[in-house]
């Protein structure tokens, strides 16, 4: 089986590769193709995967050797693929820096995947990902495409125009939340009797319940300070506020529920998250290209990166158990094992709504528990509907998402302005117009997309 990693020069590629190696007894991948538009980064990452310290032979579990090759030719990469993993960052970390700073300079949240920064990221990414999806549809129509390119729900929704049900979005934050809650309650989240009551959009969802044998264990957790305090999301948003909501939020709800505080803390910091990663990754690719053991350099850089994730939302450093949720690479392997090798899994995925959230169109992509096996992906309707305030937030964000997709396709600055203005994290139509103009000035790629008045 052929696995293609789009964005193959990206920093987190070794996580996916190591997970695939460790699971070859479950998913018989025989070839991994790395695709990236940047040949320098691609060469470094290929060396991290296959060079000294990679441990490929030890991890192969006695299977046939795993072929790994790199290419800058998209058609060559995807032709005949069985599964495509998409994690492309158009504009690189420098693009993220501009996304954050343009918003912050106007008093808005500067964050990678949500709010104005997320919409700007989407604008320059959508044309590339729609082209990618069209080439996969042409050259590998049998392939499953697993999308992690951010903003994941929005990008997956656009790719569905070309790939339909053969593309699915994944994210590690909801499954990480579920696993942390299950650990604290002493529950096996994979048990057949456990039902996850989760619903929302990517980076905008809530765990309304965790049922074991028909009994919801979430009230027990919410009522106990000792138990609730072990959940990172509850500490981040505040135990009392989580109780007031009556549900455990995805960690990104911090930016919606504490917008002023988030903006203030980011502006007070010496650098934004994007600036930190931009400097860190430039140094990594430089050092990794000059060392005999690039894998060791990568491991040290990863540890620093993970420890500082969402630092502006936390009063203290992350604890060991906060990092045990299982990353997106593990979610991707479980998904591949179900779709390609006949395993059965229940997981939270980004898929078409099809009536689950009544206010949204059927083709809107939402985040919801799904049953997955060789026959495909079947969303499960959660027992708890969104509350009115949750529904209002989800509907407004989805309106902005769909407006950005439309603006990307039409090239209309007016449509982009409207999409920014209706987003809950943009509080003024005048500011929305200003921020769109500023992104056009800052990003040649966005200027090229929004070529119409």
**Domain extent listing, the chain:** 2-169, 173-260+320-379, 272-313, 399-449
Question: Among 255-264, 292-301, 393-402, whose mean pLDDT is lowest?
Answer: 292-301
432 has pLDDT over 80: yes
54 has pLDDT over 90: no
At 306 the pLDDT is 83
pLDDT band at 253 (very low <50, low <70, confident <90, very high): very high
pLDDT band at 307 (very low <50, low <70, confident <90, very high): confident
Q: Give CA–CA dist 102/116, Å, rounded.
A: 9
57 has pLDDT over 60: no
Q: 44-58, 135-149, 264-278 — which one is most confidently predicted on average? A: 135-149
| Contact status, residue 266 vs residue 272, Cβ threshold 8 Å | yes
How many C-beta atoms lie closer than 10 Å to residue 383's C-beta? 12
At 51 the pLDDT is 82
At 325 the pLDDT is 46
Average pLDDT across the chain, whole number: 92
Mean pLDDT of 323-329: 62
At 326 the pLDDT is 54
292 has pLDDT over 90: no
DSSP helix/strand/coil, 446? helix
**What DSSP character marks residue 6?**
E
Q: Give CA–CA dist 350/348, Å, rounded.
A: 7
At 25 the pLDDT is 93
For the domain spanning 2-169, the CATH number is 3.40.50.720
Q: Domain 173-260+320-379 maps to which CATH number in 3.30.2130.10, 3.90.110.10, 2.60.40.650, 3.40.50.920?
A: 3.90.110.10
Torsion over CA: 134, 98, 232, 240 (sign): negative
Q: Give CA–CA dist 416/241, Å, rounded.
A: 34
| Contact status, residue 355 vs residue 346, Cβ threshold 8 Å | no
Mean pLDDT of 340-349: 95
At 130 the pLDDT is 98
- Residue 150 Cα distances to 25, 106, 118, 310, 453, angstroms: 30, 23, 8, 16, 26
Q: Give CA–CA dist 34/21, Å, rounded.
A: 15
């Amino acid at each position: 089986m052929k696995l293609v990693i789009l964005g193959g020069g990206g920093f987190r590629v070794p996580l996916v590769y190591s997970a695939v190696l460790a699971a070859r007894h479950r998913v018989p991948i025989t070839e991994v193709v790395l695709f990236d538009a940047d040949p320098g980064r691609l060469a470094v990452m290929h060396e991290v995967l296959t060079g000294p310290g990679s441990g490929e032979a030890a991890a192969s579990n006695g299977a046939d050797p795993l072929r790994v090759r790199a290419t800058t030719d998209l058609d060559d990469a995807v032709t005949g693929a069985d599964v495509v993993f998409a994690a492309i960052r158009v504009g690189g970390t420098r693009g993220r820096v501009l996304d954050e700073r343009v918003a912050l300079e106007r008093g808005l949240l500067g964050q990678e995947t949500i709010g104005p920064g997320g919409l700007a990221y989407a604008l320059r990414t959508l044309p590339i990902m729609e082209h990618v999806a069209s080439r996969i549809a042409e050259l590998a129509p049998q392939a499953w495409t697993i999308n992690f390119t951010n903003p994941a729900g929005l990008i997956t929704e656009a790719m569905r125009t070309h790939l339909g049900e053969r593309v699915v979005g994944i994210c590690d934050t909801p499954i990480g939340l579920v696993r942390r809650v299950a650990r604290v309650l002493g529950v096996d989240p994979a048990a057949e009797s456990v039902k996850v009551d989760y619903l929302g959009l990517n980076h905008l969802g809530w765990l309304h319940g965790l049922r074991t044998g028909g009994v919801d264990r979430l009230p027990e957790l919410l009522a106990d300070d000792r138990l609730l305090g072990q959940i990172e999301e509850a500490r981040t948003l505040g135990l009392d506020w989580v109780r007031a909501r009556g549900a455990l939020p995805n960690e990104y709800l911090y930016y919606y529920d504490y917008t002023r505080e988030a903006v203030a803390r980011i502006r007070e910091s010496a650098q934004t998250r994007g600036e930190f990663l931009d400097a860190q990754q430039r140094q990594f690719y430089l050092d990794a290209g000059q060392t005999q053991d690039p894998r060791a350099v990568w491991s040290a850089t990863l540890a620093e990166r993970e420890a500082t994730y969402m630092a502006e939302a936390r009063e203290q450093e992350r604890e060991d158990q906060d990092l045990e949720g299982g990353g997106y690479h593990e979610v991707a392997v479980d998904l591949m094992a179900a779709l390609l090798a006949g395993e059965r899994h229940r997981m939270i995925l980004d898929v078409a709504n099809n009536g689950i959230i009544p206010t949204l169109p059927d083709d809107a992509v939402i985040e919801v528990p799904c049953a997955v096996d060789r026959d495909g992906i079947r969303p499960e309707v959660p027992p708890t509907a969104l509350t009115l305030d949750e529904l209002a937030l989800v509907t407004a964000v989805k309106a902005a998402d769909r407006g950005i997709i439309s603006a990307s396709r039409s090239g209309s600055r007016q449509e982009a302005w409207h999409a920014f203005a209706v987003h809950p994290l943009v509080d003024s139509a005048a500011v929305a117009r200003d921020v769109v103009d500023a992104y056009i000035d800052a990003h040649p790629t966005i200027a090229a997309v929004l070529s119409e008045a």
